[in-house]
Amino acid sequence: MQIDYIAVFLIGLIGGFSHCIGMCGGFVLTYSIKIAENEMAEKQTAWQKIYPHLSYSAGRILTYTFLGEIFGVIGGTIGLIFSLKNFQGGLQLFAGIIMFFMGLDLAGLFPALPPNSFPGINPFKKLVGNLFNKVNRSNVFGLGIVLGFVPCGLVYSVGAQAAATQSLLKGGFTMLVFGIGTMPAMLLSGLTANLISARVRSRLYKAAALLVVFLGIMTVLRGIDALNWVHIYWLF
């Protein structure tokens, strides 16, 4: 399973400097401005400058880990209910197919859903707006927790891999590795958002999408092997 965690980390790392900066960089800049307005600090040490970003990322990663645990438990529960022979292989096959098509979607090869098509999105937007208005360095961790639930193709594609583990611990660890991969981009987004052009971000995002497709294919092949359809020993 080592190759899975490496791929998951790279999805987070490359996706962080492409998709996350484009999608979440605005959040980082907004809460940074709000904290400056709310605290009116004249001078800040290096630690005071970086602390809110570390706290925000810690909140996001906590949410990602929690989601990974949920995905892992769901996968394991389905397997327990059905008690099918080689069910893990079937789940890996299913999760790999989902990841494959989500990767193609992230690459822009399928039409995206309208942003308001998700139920409950408007109340969520209101909650986020209220949090931004009151944000400071002591509660930015909570903002990170909430924004970790923002619908994101990268998060849920890795979530499919977490479900395939059928384990609370392994599912959580999968999403933890992904979250750690996104940290450098979030910590440096204030410096890099204006330095990385839209074209470069687009190319990096496509690279992350291709990694999702690659991991999806690997998961499909691993499922095929587990189902004893074809033995693919080089994957292990």
Q: Which residues contact 152 (CB under 8 A, 6 or more apart)?
A: 19, 23
Specify if 121 maps to a domain: no
Specify if 203 maps to a domain: yes
pLDDT in tens, 167-196: 899 999 999 999 999 998 888 775 554 455
Is residue 80 pLDDT above 80, yes or no?
A: no
pLDDT in tens, 205-218: 677 677 778 877 87
Specify if 118 maps to a domain: no
Specify if 99 maps to a domain: yes
Q: What does DSSP assign to residue 113? A: P
What percentage of the chain exceeds 90 in pLDDT? 17
pLDDT band at 65 (very low <50, low <70, confident <90, very high): very high
User: What mean pLDDT value characterizes the chain?
Assistant: 76
Query: Do the Cβ atoms of 36 and 137 come closer than 8 Å?
Result: no
pLDDT in tens, 19-29: 666 667 667 77
Q: 64 versus 227: which is more confidently predicted?
A: 64
Give CA separation, 187 vs 63, 75, 83, 105, in Å: 17, 33, 44, 27
Q: How far apart are CA 49 and CA 59, in angstroms?
A: 17
Cα 81–chain centre separation: 28
Specify if 21 maps to a domain: yes
Domain count, the chain: 1
Q: What does DSSP assign to residue 138? A: T
What percentage of the chain exceeds 70 in pLDDT? 68
Question: By residue range, what is the domain housing residue 91?
Answer: 2-39+46-111+127-235
| Whole-number CA gyration radius for the chain | 19
Q: Which pTM was predicted?
A: 0.73
Q: Which residues contact 26 (CB under 8 A, 6 or more apart)?
A: none
E strand or H helix at 218: helix 198-226
| pLDDT at site 84 | 53
pLDDT in tens, 115-141: 555 555 567 667 777 787 788 888 889
Query: And the tokens for 133?
Result: 């208005």
| pLDDT at site 152 | 75
Q: How far apart are CA 20 and CA 29, in angstroms?
A: 13
pLDDT band at 62 (very low <50, low <70, confident <90, very high): very high
Specify if 174 maps to a domain: yes
CB count, 10 Å around CB of 108?
A: 12
